[in-house]
Amino acid sequence: MKALYFKQHGGSEHLEYGEVAVPNLREGWARIRVLAVALNHLDIWIRRGWPGLSLPLPHITGADICGELVATSGDASSISIGERVVVYPGIVGAEDEFVRRGEPSVSPDYQVLGEHVWGGLAEFVDVPLANLRVARSDLSVEDSAAPNLVVTTAWRMLFTRGQLESGESLLVVGSGGGVNVASMLIGKAIGARVIVLAGGAEKSNRVRTLGFTEVVDYLEVPDWHREIMKHTGGRGVDVVVDNVGRETFAKSLKSLRRGGRLLTVGNTSGYNVEIDNRLVFGKQLSIVGSTMGSIEDWEAGLNLIAKHKITLPIDRVYSLSEGKIALERLEQGRQFGKIILKPDSN
């Protein structure tokens, strides 16, 4: 099968497009013919690598998948061969204390499609049969692929971990990434007051086209935390979503009300953050980390966006053979919304 893969960790120059062998189908797993796959920053981080990461190479990333069921092994399935499906991107490990209490993504055995096993940047991908759901008939393959990882992540972060409620104020730091866009749209749908921090006139205007009126351009307002205080009458916001990290973390904390919560699932600008600890204990702030989510989080997120007829904005659609160009666009932060790849054979 054709795939986009890398044989060593590092920059985008290590990406190759070519033929790889189709693996044997595991018991209890299903084979999907990929129709569309959405990119995430996770694809970049895995390719770059980090201390302690050990993957058999070559490796294929890609967690957000819409495809067609072509084969199963073992367990019977209520989904018929040939049906269009979407895929929960988490792989739940052996039962432990975290799995038993419904938080499998906390477990050390939890895996992510495209991180620990081959993902969907290929013509075919194998996934656990239990991870499949029939795709909505009213959505394109692009719109079906776009939300899976980011909606799972945003739902757990906002609600399971962050306890966001209707009527609360939510600041989303950064507007281009998939988790942030999902957080904006989900927050608005449940009745939160959403303020968006965007970089530049183009991204600010695109945020406004999604129906958000409170948009702060951090390129025009470097001390944007002061602007957030103005927007909230000096109180600060209830919740901040900051997946940027080093460049924004300190100002995000300063944007919170007393007793506020900062939620984070990433660090696109770097992981070494500097904070004034006096601010944390003096204002009794909570810094809440989150990663991925359960299959119930995924289903709840998909149900909410279906109910409110929400689709994530699509930035660009590329063929799989153009994957290097697509990933470089994501790496440079030029996207707004999800970048989609489709196998050239489709």
Q: Is residue 303 in a domain? A: no
| Token pair in block for residue 54 | 């050990």
Q: What is the pLDDT of residue 247?
A: 79
138, 156: one domain: no
| Token pair in block for residue 107 | 């477990």
Pairing of strands 338-342, 29-38: antiparallel
Residue 85: phi, psi to the nearest 5? Answer: -135, 160
Q: Is residue 297 in a domain? A: no
Q: What is the pLDDT of residue 76?
A: 64
pLDDT tens, 172-188?
A: 998 778 899 999 999 99
Mean pLDDT of the chain: 93
Range of the domain at 167: 152-289
92, 11: one domain: yes
114, 190: one domain: no
156, 229: one domain: yes
Q: Is residue 308 in a domain? A: no
Q: Is residue 334 in a domain? A: yes
184, 212: one domain: yes
Helices (H), the chain: 41-48, 97-100, 141-145, 148-155, 178-189, 201-209, 224-231, 249-254, 277-282, 295-307, 323-331
DSSP labels, 200-257: SHHHHHHHHHTT---EEETTT-TTHHHHHHHHTTTS-EEEEEE-S-TTTHHHHHHTEE
Q: What is the pLDDT of residue 274?
A: 84
The residues near 242 (Cβ < 8 Å, ≥ 6 apart) are: 173, 174, 248, 249, 252, 262, 263, 264
280, 335: one domain: no
Q: Which residues of the chain have pLDDT under 50?
A: none
Q: Is residue 156 in a domain? A: yes
215, 276: one domain: yes
What is the tally of structural domains in the chain? 2
Domain of 50, CATH number, reads 3.90.180.10
Q: What is the pLDDT of residue 291?
A: 93
Q: Is residue 305 in a domain? A: no
136, 20: one domain: yes
Q: Taking a C-beta distance cutoff of 8 angstroms, is the pair 125, 67 a contact?
A: yes
pTM: 0.91
229, 100: one domain: no
